[in-house]
Amino acid sequence: QVQLVESEGGVVQPGRSLRLSCAASGFSFSSYGMHWIRQAPGKGLEWVAVISNDGSKKYYVDSVKGRFTISRDNPKNTLYLQMNSLRVEDTAVYYCAKGEGGHYLYWGQGTLVTVSS
Amino acid sequence: QSVLTQPPSVSGAPGQRVTISCSGSSSNIGAGYDVHWYQHLPGTAPKLLIYDNTKRPSGVPDRFSGSKSGTSASLAITGLRAEDEADYYCQSGSWVFGGGTKLTVL
């Protein structure tokens, strides 16, 4: 069965960096685009970034452009989100999700990232 | 503020029917993009309820149904149950989510 397991988040100071990972199993990872989606406390879902199946195309929400980098290691079936210059407003639960036909059937369990001094 | 507009809250009594609207524009729903719906309970991953406007993934009861017309879409829930109390999100276009609707079962 499809499984997406995010790494543990954590508490990080503003301006610092953190890398999230998402280990995938149960499907042909290299065949699918993968996404990061987040939910800030008390807010709705917000799409963050997408990477194509081969890693050649990447897109980001405007608020993270230039600070976050999505990447993937297909032989390791792992998705990453490198988050630099973190801001308080980046505090959220981050989910990885398998992209298929524009919707998300499979999601990770979510990992909390708290940006605070 | 999301480009897909949902009512902040809706409510209904057990057994009743409720609908949740999702209003878009000619840039997303009106441009022909499919609409998808998710149920989100606190502390859990969102669950896909409806995809491609009207389709239900395996395991989603037929109490949940979706429709789309013009620049809007709707999620209908019939035979409301206590366990349906959750947040509901529409999604369409280039990876855009609606602001979410909190469903309260009275």
Contact between B64 and B80 (Cβ < 8 Å): no
Tell me the C-alpha distance between B3 and B22, whole Å: 10
Q: Please enumerate in sequence order all residues whose Cβ is within 8 A of that of B45, keeping only pairs 6 or more positions apart, or say none.
A: A95, A107, A108, A109, A110
Contact between A13 and A78 (Cβ < 8 Å): no
For chain B, what percent of residues have pLDDT higher than 70?
99
Angle, alpha carbons A38-A104-B10 (nearest 5°): 70
Express each pLDDT in B45-87 by its tens digit: 999 999 999 999 999 999 999 999 999 999 999 999 999 999 9
Minimum-distance CB partner of B48 among A50, A103, A108? A103
**pLDDT at residue A8, rounded to an integer:** 94
Q: Which residues of B touch A95 (CB under 8 A)?
A: 45-46
CA distance A69 to chain B (A): 17
Tell me the C-alpha distance between B46 and B88, whole Å: 9
| A52 at B interface, C-beta within 8 A | no
CA dihedral for B6, B11, B14, B16, sign (positive or negative): negative
What's the pLDDT band for B1 if we cut at 50, 70, 90? low
Express each pLDDT in A38-73 by its tens digit: 999 999 999 999 999 999 999 999 999 999 999 999
With 80 as the cut, is the pLDDT of residue B2 above it?
no
